[in-house]
Amino acid sequence: MSAEEYKAEGNKAFLAKDYPTAIDHFTKAIELDPTNHVLFSNRSACYASQKNYEKALEDGEKTVELKADWSKGYGRKATALFGLGRYPEANDVYEEGLKIEPTNVQLQKGLQDTKQAMEKEASMGIGQFFGPDVFTKMAANPKLAPLLAQPDLVEKIRAIQANPNALNQHMQDPRIMSLLMGLMGLDARGPEDFPGASEEDDTPAPTSAAPKKAEEPKAEEPKDEEMPSEEELNKKEALKVKDLGNASYKARKFEEALEHYTKAWELDSTNVSILTNKAAVYFEMGNFDECIKTCEEAIDVGREHRADYKLIAKALGRIGNAYAKQNKLPEAIKYYGKSLAEHRTPDILAKLKEAEKAKAKADKEAYRDVALSAEARDRGNVLFKKSDFVEAVKEYTEAIKRDDTDPRAYSNRAACYTKLMAINEALKDCETCISLDPKFVKGYIRKAAIQFLKKEYTECLETCQKAKDVDVEKKNTAEIDGQINKVYTEMNRGPERREGETEAETIARAQQDPEVQRIMSDPAMRSILQQMQEDPQAAQDHMKNPMVAANIRKLVAAGIIRVGN
């Protein structure tokens, strides 16, 4: 999975409140894309939801470090500090975030909550009597206990517990004063002293007053509607003209669309989307320089008026597209990266990867030089003869970079890797060599040597046979036959003899192996062995079957049968 896919799965888990799973997905995404500030921000939110504020703080700080001009990162960091009770630090971080985005509602609310918490922490005066055990104390006091039956009073007590500063607001309620006196050990009045005290407005209810005549509802006074300003009228008109431009763009009437967008911009020079749409027209017309210029203006205006970061990202991405069309790949990669830093979208991420791939290919082609490749290969040959295999590998690698279509460099580097016992690298080079030139005999010979080292004897024999097939001039017959004989020698070694054991005893012991007995009792295997004895060519055919080949190797190791060239 890609980082974006892990991120999407993490978001799903977070919405489902499956925070451990969400954290796991975001962590895997970070491993693939460690510079993505959004991933650290999302994981910080998960940790905060688990009340693991230490971890949340670490990710919040990393978010700010990666993108210092992103207000949301400050929100994550401040939330973690608040959760840790470090209110002054949280206060400072919220204020830093608001410097970047003064209208951010979440940061404003967080700052307000933090200031209230700081005031609550500082206020330990009368408010301390409304601690967690206040209701227990009231229940134990005969005069205060009846107050527990008044829901509105209980709500006020809870409000004071949540915010001691609310005490001043509720001191107008005589019940609160009585309760406070009782909690302080002074004489307290009971609820009977406050008739109608359960009323929401805290005022005594009348006892014997005549019912008041119902008042006739007053006619609603007309409201003065504020007339829209000229600026507001222009903005509305600009949107209408912009829509006309959009319609012309869809109809591919580009000149007409440009006229509409130009007029819309004259009416409202703060609407960044007008410029990004205008840039899209220039892009479709193939006027990439004007497209870039218009997008740059959109970005400047957007920064000035704090436009949606998605619009900024769109303008940056469009600049990247324009540079890509001009085949200016380094510039395209640069602006795609800037766009992703503002807002990550799969489309721009795919274009970035495509541009990077195209640039790598272009760089590779620019570096290609057949003559210099031959020189590097010759230097590698000299070093190989001196047994300086490490340096020889470097020269052969340079030869491949200069010309990756020549199988000789891969073959020679495979020989070096084999000497250095880098078996997997050697085998990979042999496979590449053969794929480039299926008739390159040395590629097969070196591949067979590696298979022999890996004790893959059947595969080694098959490779040797392929080498013989392509060696039409028979120049390498001796080397190929030598490799085949080495394989047969290893396969015919028979079972390992124990100390003091005769050869016959060793073979007899090996034949007691249940696996050997299973193979020998298999009618199909007996038939195959009979064919191999009568027709050597049949042996080669049967050895191509992996299961049969494994059984035969087991019998050879047990000394039951012998194979030869």
Confidence (pLDDT) at 514: 84
Q: Return the amino acid letter for 525.
A: M
Confidence (pLDDT) at 347: 93
Q: Are 110 and 72 in contact (CB under 8 A)?
A: no
Please give the structure tokens belonging to residue 252: 């591919």
Whole-number Å distance between alpha carbons of 511 and 517: 7
Q: Are 543 and 461 in contact (CB under 8 A)?
A: yes
Confidence (pLDDT) at 177: 67
What is the C-alpha R_g of the chain?
A: 42
Per-residue pLDDT tens digits of the chain, which is 565 residues long: 888 899 988 888 888 888 999 999 999 999 999 999 999 999 999 999 888 989 999 999 999 999 999 999 999 999 999 888 788 999 999 999 999 999 988 899 989 988 887 776 665 455 566 777 778 888 888 888 888 888 888 888 888 777 777 776 776 677 876 776 677 664 444 433 333 333 333 323 333 333 443 343 333 333 333 345 677 888 889 999 999 999 999 999 999 999 999 999 999 999 999 999 999 999 999 999 999 999 999 999 998 888 888 999 999 999 999 999 999 999 999 999 999 999 999 999 999 999 999 999 898 888 989 999 999 999 999 999 999 999 999 999 999 999 999 999 999 999 999 999 999 999 999 999 999 999 999 999 999 999 999 888 878 888 998 999 999 888 899 999 999 888 878 776 655 555 666 767 766 776 777 888 888 888 888 888 888 777 767 777 777 777 887 787 777 766 666 666 5
Confidence (pLDDT) at 122: 62
Residue 123, CB half-sphere, CA atoms under 13 Å: how many?
A: 20
DSSP state of 128: G
Task: Indicate whether this model's pTM tops 0.75.
Answer: no
Whole-number Å distance between alpha carbons of 40 and 458: 52
**At a CB cut-off of 8 Å and minimum separation 6, what does 495 contact?**
506, 507, 509, 510, 557, 558, 559
Please give the structure tokens belonging to residue 152: 């509105």
Residue 288's CB is within 10 A of a number of other CB atoms, namely 19
Confidence (pLDDT) at 119: 76
Nearest 5°: CA angle at 532, between 529 and 538? 130
Closest residue by Cα to residue 315 from 334, 292, 332, 333: 292
Percent helix, strand, coil in the chain, to 5, is 75, 0, 25
Q: Return the amino acid letter for 68.
A: A
The H-assigned helical ranges of 285-406 are 288-304, 309-325, 329-342, 346-367, 370-385, 389-402
Q: Are 96 and 109 in contact (CB under 8 A)?
A: no
Confidence (pLDDT) at 516: 80
Confidence (pLDDT) at 219: 36
